[in-house]
């Protein structure tokens, strides 16, 4: 089954990030001068305006900072309601990075502010991109399917935590 | 001490609001421009500054400002397009005071499209969007305000029932406004809001603004012209605007700092410039795209303290008869939300200060304030303080 939800139109400046996801890393620009992380990436550090930043793999540990269970979705998302959108705060400091995303393997009813999460990866069949998802802490690193069984891949998102 | 009156809102106009299948965005915009000029008694030919709000009609390859300059007869016009409605009007008043232009019209109109999720068709193939776009996560405006509400409830112990109180008082106001979309459906209760279907938890259907067609315009002019205009002028005492973040991509912790963000800055400046104290406001129009928005507006505007917005609403201040009746037309929740309703609150405040509001009239309303916000939760804000005399 074709993946029909929006995917990134990858900007040249951001290829390192998306290559990182494919390589099993979540890379965040870290300022070479003050050491602050910056999310979303900006051309210069938002703390000290230094332009030199290094894409730095983070631990992928995060917590739910806020969340919403969506019952009416735009476009193809509406075929998957209810689904969760979370704002996750990465473990890294200074400057706690708050990242928006969907969950995988978590029953939306189980979400709470402060819930430990882990960033995992999902390769999108027939597309040149791997995306990130938020799984419960302790989940396997990847929801990438060994096979190219895209129907099974899609169904994983709607399963309870034990599946992922 | 209040500033001298140098610019005034001389004309306002709202088209029919609702489902308008026979109309185009352009015709609503043009009707609004003509209607507001007529309300002021100023010929359209004398407009020399324009503020086209977002989504204003224009031809491919040109900007909205250029399109409307050509459409309105290819006269040289003042460029007044930056900022949201209240903030742009504040700047227009300064421009008028300083001779940059004399008659400014702010306008908007939209028909035939929806801003909510119903307006997005499912694609056959994954659409591509910017790298950090929230669209990849299936988020949209309601989701963002839901995330904001969830975090707010977590930090301050507010409940969904607290938020629902906003929908209740604005619906009551709508029942007194014969032109409101939801007024004819009658009043609602907190339970009605809690029982309405979930859209993006914790926000239910009745926590959300409407998603309709409609247009409006506001004409501002100099003191001299306003005094001879057809309608009673409503004087601009002062205003300000502020922006603090990008378009729904960067979120900083805390989301609710004690010192406030864009709305606080705009409000502080607007009250300072206008020489008006918060306790002098007789009537307010505060942006209410969702119930949570009004609660946060009240806190950031400084009408109550951080975390006390829900309590302020429950005390009845915002309801007609209260200390500061707010969104007396029914607001975006129950009157109209036509896509970019940034000027609607200003129009209602103008009508209140003119004394035109019939059953929903605030007695002896002399000083009012309007807040427009958006482009992120409280991301960009404009505040305008106005007076009847």
Q: How far is CA B126 from CA A77, A80, B135, in A?
A: 11, 15, 11
Question: Do residues B175 and B117 make contact, with C-beta atoms less than 8 angstroms apart?
Answer: no
Q: Do A74 and B129 touch (CB under 8 A)?
A: no
Report pLDDT digits (tens) over A44-65: 998 899 999 999 999 999 999 9
Q: Do B126 and A87 touch (CB under 8 A)?
A: no
CB < 8 Å to A68, chain B: 139, 143, 146-147, 150, 200-203
Searching chain A, which residue's CA lies closest to the CA of residue B247?
A: A40
Q: Do B138 and A96 touch (CB under 8 A)?
A: no
CB < 8 Å to B137, chain A: 85, 100-102
CB < 8 Å to B197, chain A: 71
The pLDDT assigned to A142 comes to 79
The pLDDT assigned to B54 comes to 72
Place A140 in a pLDDT band, splitting at 50, 70 and 90: confident
The pLDDT assigned to B120 comes to 82
- Smallest CA-to-CA distance from B366 within B272, B298, B283, B276 is with B283
Question: And the tokens for A45?
Answer: 């550090």
CB < 8 Å to A17, chain B: 131
Beta-carbon pairs below 8 A across chains A and B: 137
Searching chain A, which residue's CA lies closest to the CA of residue B198?
A: A71
Q: Do A8 and B130 touch (CB under 8 A)?
A: yes
The pLDDT assigned to A121 comes to 97
Catalogue the E-assigned strands of chain B: 7-14, 49-52, 78-79, 103-110, 128-130, 198-200, 203-204, 214-222, 234-243, 283-286, 367-374, 380-387
Nearest by CB to A74, which of B120, B197, B251? Answer: B120
CB < 8 Å to B148, chain A: 66
Category of B358 on φ-ψ map: left (φ > 0), alpha (ψ -120 to 50) or beta = left
CB < 8 Å to A79, chain B: 122
- Smallest CA-to-CA distance from B291 within B334, B247, B231, B253 is with B334
Q: How far is A10 from chain B (nearest CA, A)?
A: 6
Residue B72 burial (C-beta neighbours within 10 Å; 0-12, 13-18, 19+): middle
Residue for token pair 């209760």: B189
CB < 8 Å to A113, chain B: 150-151, 154
CB < 8 Å to B257, chain A: none
**Spatial CB neighbours of B271, under 8 Å, sequence gap ≥ 6:** B238, B277, B278, B302, B383, B385
Distance in angstroms (rounded) separating the CA atoms of residues A85 and A100: 7
Place A151 in a pLDDT band, splitting at 50, 70 and 90: very low
Report pLDDT digits (tens) over B292-345: 999 999 999 999 999 999 999 999 999 999 999 999 999 999 999 999 999 999
Question: And the tokens for A34?
Answer: 């003050």
Q: Do A7 and B126 touch (CB under 8 A)?
A: yes
Percentage of chain A surpassing pLDDT 90? 76
Percentage of chain A surpassing pLDDT 70? 87
Residue for token pair 């034990």: A162
Residue for token pair 């004409």: B219
- Smallest CA-to-CA distance from A93 within A151, A35, A47, A152 is with A35
The pLDDT assigned to B60 comes to 67
Distance in angstroms (rounded) separating the CA atoms of residues B300 and A144: 45
Searching chain B, which residue's CA lies closest to the CA of residue A80?
A: B138
Nearest by CB to B131, which of A11, A71, A124? Answer: A11
Q: How far is A44 from chain B (nearest CA, A)?
A: 14
Residue for token pair 């930090």: B155
Question: And the tokens for B332?
Answer: 């975006």
pLDDT by 10-residue block (mean), chain B, 389 residues: 82 97 94 97 94 74 73 68 78 92 94 84 91 96 98 98 98 98 98 98 98 96 94 95 86 92 93 96 98 98 98 98 98 96 97 98 98 90 95
Distance in angstroms (rounded) separating the CA atoms of residues B198 and B195: 8
| Beta strand A98-102 pairing with B49-52 | unpaired
Searching chain A, which residue's CA lies closest to the CA of residue B140?
A: A74
- Smallest CA-to-CA distance from B332 within B163, B209, B169 is with B209
| Beta strand A27-31 pairing with B283-286 | unpaired
Distance in angstroms (rounded) separating the CA atoms of residues B36 and B49: 14
Q: How far is CA B10 from CA B38, B236, B280, B284, in A?
A: 10, 10, 23, 19
Q: Do A127 and B135 touch (CB under 8 A)?
A: no
The pLDDT assigned to B64 comes to 74
């Amino acid at each position: 089954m074709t993946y029909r939800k929006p995917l990134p139109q990858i900007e040249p400046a951001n290829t390192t990030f998306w290559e990182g996801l494919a390589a099993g890393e979540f890379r965040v620009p870290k300022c070479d001068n003050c050491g602050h992380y910056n999310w979303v990436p900006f051309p210069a550090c938002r703390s000290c305006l230094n332009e030199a930043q290094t894409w730095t793999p983070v631990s992928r540990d995060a917590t739910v900072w806020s969340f919403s269970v969506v019952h009416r979705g735009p476009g193809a998302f509406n075929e998957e309601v209810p689904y969760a959108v979370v704002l996750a705060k990465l473990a890294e400091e200074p400057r706690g990075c708050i990242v928006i995303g969907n969950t995988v393997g978590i029953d939306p009813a189980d979400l709470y502010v402060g819930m430990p999460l882990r960033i995992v990866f999902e390769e999108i069949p027939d597309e040149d991109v791997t995306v990130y998802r938020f799984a419960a802490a302790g989940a396997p690193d990847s929801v990438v399917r060994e096979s190219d069984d895209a129907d099974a891949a899609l169904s994983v998102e709607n399963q309870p935590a034990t599946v992922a | 001490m209040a500033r001298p009156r140098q610019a005034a809102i001389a004309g306002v106009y709202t088209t029919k609001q609702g489902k308008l299948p026979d109309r185009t965005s352009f015709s609503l915009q043009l009707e609004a421009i003509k209607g507001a000029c007529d309300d002021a008694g100023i010929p359209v030919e004398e407009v020399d500054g324009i503020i086209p709000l977002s989504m204003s009609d224009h031809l491919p390859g040109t900007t909205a400002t250029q399109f409307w300059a050509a459409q309105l007869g290819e006269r040289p016009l003042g460029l007044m397009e930056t900022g949201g409605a209240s903030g742009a009007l504040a700047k227009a008043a300064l421009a008028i005071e300083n001779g940059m232009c004399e008659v400014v019209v702010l306008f908007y109109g939209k028909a035939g499209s929806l801003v909510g999720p119903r307006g997005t068709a499912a694609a056959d193939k994954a659409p591509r969007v910017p790298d950090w776009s929230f669209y990849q996560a299936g988020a949209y405006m309601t989701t963002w305000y839901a995330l904001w509400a969830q975090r707010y409830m977590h930090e301050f112990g507010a409940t969904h029932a607290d938020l629902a109180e906003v929908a209740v008082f604005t619906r009551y106001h709508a029942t007194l406004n014969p032109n409101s979309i939801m007024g004819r459906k009658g009043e609602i209760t907190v339970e009605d809001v809690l029982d309405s279907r979930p859209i993006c938890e914790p926000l239910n259907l009745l926590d959300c603004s409407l998603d309709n067609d409609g247009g409006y315009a506001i004409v501002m002019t100099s003191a001299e012209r306003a005094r001879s205009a057809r309608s009673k002028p409503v004087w601009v005492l002062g205003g300000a605007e502020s922006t603090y973040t990008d378009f729904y991509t960067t979120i900083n912790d805390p989301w609710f700092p004690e010192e406030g963000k864009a709305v606080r800055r705009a409000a502080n400046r607007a009250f300072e410039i206008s020489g008006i104290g918060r306790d002098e406001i007789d009537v307010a129009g505060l942006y209410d795209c969702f119930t949570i928005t009004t609660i946060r507006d009240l806190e950031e505007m400084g009408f109550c303290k951080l975390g006390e917005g829900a309590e302020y609403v429950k005390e009845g201040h915002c309801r007609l008869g209260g200390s500061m009746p707010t969104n007396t037309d029914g607001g975006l929740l129950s009157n109209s939300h036509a896509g970019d309703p940034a000027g609607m609150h200003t129009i209602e405040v103008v009508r209140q200060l003119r004394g035109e509001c019939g059953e929903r009239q605030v007695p002896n309303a002399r000083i009012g304030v309007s807040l427009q916000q958006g482009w992120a939760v409280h991301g960009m804000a404009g505040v305008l303080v106005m007076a009847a005399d």
